[in-house]
Structure 1
Amino acid sequence: MRQYKKIALYCAASLSLLAAACWPVTSLLRLPSPTALIGLALELRPFSQSYVYFDSAPFAASTNPQSLQTSSPAQSTSPSPFLSQQVAWRNGATLDLAQFLGQTHTDALLVIHRGQLVQELYPLGATRETVFPSYSVAKSILSDLTGIAVQEGKLSLSDPVRKYLPYLPEKFDSLKVNDLLNMHSSIHVDEKYDSVFSQIAYMYITTDLKRFVRGLGTTPFTPGEGFVYRSIDYLLLGMVVSAATGEPLTRYLQDKLWQPMGAQYPASWSVDSDAGAVEKSFCCINARAIDFARFGLLHLRRGQANGKAVLPESWMQRPEQVGVADADFAYGRGWWLPRRATNGQDYTAIGIHGQYIYIDPVSDTVIVKLSDHGAEQDEALTVAAFHSIVASLSAAKN
C-alpha cells in the first residue's frame, strides 16, 4: 500500500511539473490553464459541472422573486402522481418514467402546469441549490434579449452586423443581425463536437473570443446558403447586443430579464476570461433549474411576470420557422420547433448533453429537464416523452 501511495505522489508531482511547464504555452495559444484543459479532456467532472473550469460574470437575483404555487413537495425523489408513469419511447414502445429519467441521465426534472409547480425532481442527488449550465439553451435566452433590444430601439434586425462589430472582416459587409438570429450567416464554423481540434471546440475554450472573431477572415463564407445550425452566429449576436446596448451582456440580462422575471437565485454567464470578459453567448448560462423554469413560465404568461411586462408580447409567439434541421425539428429565432405529433404550438430550447426548456402554450405547461446525457442523443424521443407527460397532466386536471 505504501508503494502505491508513493507512486501516486510521484505521478501527482510529475503532472504538476508538466502543468507548470505548459502554462506559458496555453497562455500563448489563448487557452485555459493546463489544469482546466486536463479536467475537460479527461472529463474529471460531469458535463453538468464543467462550467467550473471557466471564468464567469455573475448577475444578481431579483429583489422580488416570483412565487410559484406548488402541488407537490419541493425537491422530491419520486415522480409526482400527476405525471404519466409511462412515456413514449423508441420504436413506438413506452418506457416507465423513472427508467426514462435514468436512461437519459436526468439531473433535474421540473414541470409547471397551469401555473403550478407539479414536479421538482432531482433523481441523481442534486437540490434546488445546485447550479447547472444551460449549454445552448442560452441561445433561446439571447433571442429574447435581442427582442428587448429591438423593442427599446437599440438595434434593428436589418442592421449590418459590422455596424456594431467593425473589427469583423470586411467580407461580412452583407451580414445582417437577422441572419445571426435565424442562423443564416453562412459562416462555416462547423459544429463538430467529436473533435478537440474543431473550430467550435476552440471557440468554447479560448480565452480571447475577440481574437477568434477577428480571425474569421480565413473562414469560408457562402452568402445565401440558408439555415445551418452554427453557434458562431450566436456568439456574434451576443457581441452585437452588447455593443448596441452599450452594456456587458450579463448586465443587460440581469437588468432586463433576470431580475424583472423574478429569478430566485443569482447566476452567472461563462466568459472567455476575466480579462477578456466576453460572454460565451452561444452557451453557458449557469443557474438553478427553478429559475430556468421561471424563464419558461415567462413565455406562457406572454412576457409578463409579477404583473409587469418583461418581454415584448410579439416576441412570445411561437417563432416562425426559418429552416428545417431534420425530420424531427425545424428552427426559428433561437428555438427548436418539433415537427412530429405536436399540436403545432409547442417549442423548446435544447442544449447539448440533454438540457431542455420545453414550452406548450396549449396545455399551459413548461418542462425543464437538465441532464448529463450524450452530446445530441435522444432529443426527438425526449420531446415525445414530454408529449406523454403533457397528455397525462391534461387528462388528470380535466
Structure 2
Amino acid sequence: MIPTSESPLALPTHHLPNAEDFLMWPPCLQSYGFRNVDKLFATRDIARGPTPRALTRGPAYEAPFVSGGKTLSIADLMNRNNVVGLIATVDDAVVLERYGLGLQPHERWSTMSTVKSLTALLVGAAIADGAIHSLDDAVTDHLPAMRGTGYEGVTVRHLLTMSSGVRWIEDYTDRDSDVNRYSRSLAAKAPGGVLQLMASLQRAHPPGSFWNYNTGDTYLLGAVICAATGQRLADYMSEKIWKPAGMEFDAFYTLESDGGQEISGSRAGMTLRDMARLALLVVNDGRVQGTPLLGAQWVDAVSARAFELAGRENTAGVEILGVSGYGLSWWLDDDGGMWALGHSGQRIYVNRRERITVVQLAVYPEPAYYSPAEPDRDVLLLDFIRTLRLCHDRVNP
C-alpha cells in the first residue's frame, strides 16, 4: 500500500513469529518464541502466593562427564544442546543453575508437553478432595459433550495413560496431522475448537488396550479436572500446588481461546526455578516440608508402570533417555528415573530413590533443520545425569 497523508503513522512495532507454525519453527524463532508464548496465544496466569519459598543452595557441581568417548564440561552441554536453562538438585539443594541464549531467571519458558506430567499431579489433589471419585470415573460423566463420541467408555485412567483408543496422529512435521490441527485451533483462538476436534475423533482400539501418545487426551484430562472441581484449571493449580509449594513467579496455562478452557497438555509457561520446585515436590512424594499436597501415595501411583514401551519405534519420546515405560502421564526408565518430556528438548528428570532432579530447557532443531553435524542431544543429557548420579553415590555411599 502506498502511504498517503491519511495513512497511520509509522510507529515502532514488535514482530512475533507465526503462531500456527509453533511446532515447526527454525531454531532462531524457537529461542525467541518459546519465551513469548503468552504474546502468541490466549493465556491464564497461575498465581503465586505472597511469600516464595527459598531454594536451599548446596556446593556448586562442576564435574566433567564423558559422552561419545569425549570428556565434556557443563559449558559444552549448554552449547551442544542449545540449553537456555539447566538446574539440578541433590538432596533438596540446588547444586547447579545456569542460563543461556539470553533467558533470564524471571522469564517464563514454554513447558511444551512436560506440563502433561505436571497437570497429572492435580488429579491426585482432585481425588483427595473427592471431586474425582476414582481413576475409573468415565470421561462422559464429567464431560457430557463427549457422549456418543470416540471417548464413550474412556476413563480418567485411560486419559492419564494415553490409552483412550481414539485414532490420533501426533506428527509435528505433517501440517494436517491431528496435533497440528489442534495447534491451528489454538492459534486461531477458536472457542470450543479443540473440544470439537476431540469429539470428531474415531475409535481405533478398545479403551485401555493400546498406548498411543495423544496431546488431545491430556486436553480432555484438564477439562475433566475443571468440570469435577468447578474451578478453572489455572486457579486449581494455584490453590493446590503453586501457592503451598512457594513458587517464586506466576506461571500460565495457554487457553484454547480468549477466556476459554486451559490447554493442560502443552505450551504452558514457567520459570526454570519453579520447574525445579515442581521436581522437588515429586522427589519428596508430593509433600512440601512434610505437608502433603497431592493426596496419599499419588506419586507412587503416577510412577507405576501402565505400559511397557521398550522396543517400540522412536516416536513421541519412546526409546530416548533410557525410557522404557509409561505411568500416569510420566515416562519411566529402568533406573528409578521419572521423566516429564516436552517437544524440542524440554526435560524434567526425577529420581526419588537417589533424591536427584534435573530440569533442562532447550532448543532442539526441528527435523527440517537437522544437519549431518547434529549431536545426539538426549544422549549428552543422559550422560551428564549419569555422572551426576555417580558423583552423588560417591559422596553418599
Give TM-score scaled by structure 1 length.
0.81
Q: What is the match of residue 256 of structure 1?
A: 240
Q: What is the match of residue 154 of structure 1?
A: 131
**Structure 1, unaligned stretches of length 5 or more?**
1-5, 17-32, 73-79
Q: Which of 235, 244, 249 is the equivalent residue of 2:228?
A: 244
Q: What is the match of residue 134 of structure 1?
A: 111
Q: What is the match of residue 46 of structure 2?
A: 59
Q: Which of 177, 196, 203 is the equivalent residue of 1:214?
A: 196
Q: Give, in angstroms, the shift of residue 104 of structure 1.
A: 1.0
Would you say the 8 A contact 2:22–2:183 is kept in 1? no
Q: Which of 195, 206, 214 is the equivalent residue of 2:174?
A: 195
Q: What whole-Å deviation, never above 9, does each CA across 1:118-146 have from its counterpart, x for those lacking one?
A: 11111333221121111111011111001
* Sequence identity (%): 24
Mapped to 2, the partners of 1:387 and 1:188 lie a distance apart of 37
Q: Give, in angstroms, the shift of residue 362 of structure 1.
A: 2.2
Would you say the 8 A contact 1:83–1:392 is kept in 2? no
SS of 1:353's equivalent in the other structure is helix
Would you say the 8 A contact 2:83–2:361 is kept in 1? yes
Q: Which amino acid aligns with 2:195?
A: V
Q: What whole-Å deviation, never above 9, does each CA across 1:40-89 have from its counterpart, x for those lacking one?
A: 876545252251311110121122322212135xxxxxxx4x242114x3
Would you say the 8 A contact 1:354–1:375 is kept in 2? no
SS of 1:233's equivalent in the other structure is helix
Would you say the 8 A contact 1:167–1:214 is kept in 2? no
Q: Name the structure where helix makes up a greater proportion of residues.
A: 1
Q: What is the match of residue 249 of structure 2?
A: 265
Q: Which of 33, 44, 49 is the equivalent residue of 2:35?
A: 49
Would you say the 8 A contact 1:169–1:214 is kept in 2? no
Q: Give, in angstroms, the shift of residue 108 of structure 1.
A: 0.6
Q: What whole-Å deviation, never above 9, does each CA across 1:212-231 have from its counterpart, x for those lacking one?
A: 32344542312334111111
Mapped to 1, the partners of 2:197 and 2:40 lie a distance apart of 24
Q: Which amino acid aligns with 1:65?
A: P
SS of 1:221's equivalent in the other structure is coil
Q: Which deviates more, 388-397 or 325-334? A: 388-397
Mapped to 1, the partners of 2:381 and 2:93 lie a distance apart of 22
Q: What is the match of residue 339 of structure 2?
A: 348
Q: What is the match of residue 13 of structure 2?
A: none
Q: Which of 280, 304, 324 is the equivalent residue of 1:297?
A: 280
Would you say the 8 A contact 1:186–1:222 is kept in 2? yes
Mapped to 1, the partners of 2:256 and 2:306 lie a distance apart of 30
CA-based RMSD of the aligned residues comes to 2.9
SS of 2:144's equivalent in the other structure is coil
Q: Give, in angstroms, the shift of residue 393 of structure 1.
A: 3.4
Mapped to 2, the partners of 1:41 and 1:351 lie a distance apart of 14
Q: Which of 344, 358, 375 is the equivalent residue of 1:367?
A: 358
Q: Which deviates more, 384-393 or 101-110? A: 384-393
Q: What is the match of residue 382 of structure 2?
A: 383
Q: Which amino acid aligns with 1:386?
A: I
Change (3 A) 1:188 1:369: same
Change (3 A) 1:285 1:128: same
Mapped to 1, the partners of 2:340 and 2:165 lie a distance apart of 22
Q: Give, in angstroms, the shift of residue 248 of structure 1.
A: 0.7
Q: Give, in angstroms, the shift of residue 177 of structure 1.
A: 1.1
1:223 aligns with 2:201: no
Q: Which amino acid aligns with 1:99?
A: D
Would you say the 8 A contact 1:300–1:359 is kept in 2? yes
Q: What whole-Å deviation, never above 9, does each CA across 1:187-216 have from its counterpart, x for those lacking one?
A: 122110012222201212312363332344
Q: What whole-Å deviation, never above 9, does each CA across 1:128-176 have from its counterpart, x for those lacking one?
A: 1121111111011111001111111111211111111111150432111
Would you say the 8 A contact 2:137–2:155 is kept in 1? yes
Mapped to 1, the partners of 2:332 and 2:366 lie a distance apart of 19
Q: Give, in angstroms, the shift of residue 350 of structure 1.
A: 0.9
Q: What whole-Å deviation, never above 9, does each CA across 1:285-344 have from its counterpart, x for those lacking one?
A: 2111000001111112222214422122401226111123344422111111124xx2xx
Q: What is the match of residue 269 of structure 2?
A: 286
Would you say the 8 A contact 1:131–1:288 is kept in 2? yes
Q: What whole-Å deviation, never above 9, does each CA across 1:2-25 have from its counterpart, x for those lacking one?
A: xxxx99x9xxx9xx9xxxxxxxxx
Q: Which deviates more, 199-208 or 180-189? A: 199-208
Q: Give, in angstroms, the shift of residue 110 of structure 1.
A: 0.6
Q: Which of 75, 80, 83 is the equivalent residue of 1:98?
A: 75
Q: Give, in angstroms, the shift of residue 279 of structure 1.
A: 1.0
Change (3 A) 1:363 1:247: same
Q: Which deviates more, 260-269 or 217-226? A: 217-226
**Structure 2, unaligned stretches of length 5 or more?**
11-15, 313-318, 368-375
Number of residue equivalences: 357
Q: Which of 328, 335, 341 is the equivalent residue of 2:330?
A: 335
Would you say the 8 A contact 2:192–2:256 is kept in 1? no
Change (3 A) 1:109 1:278: same
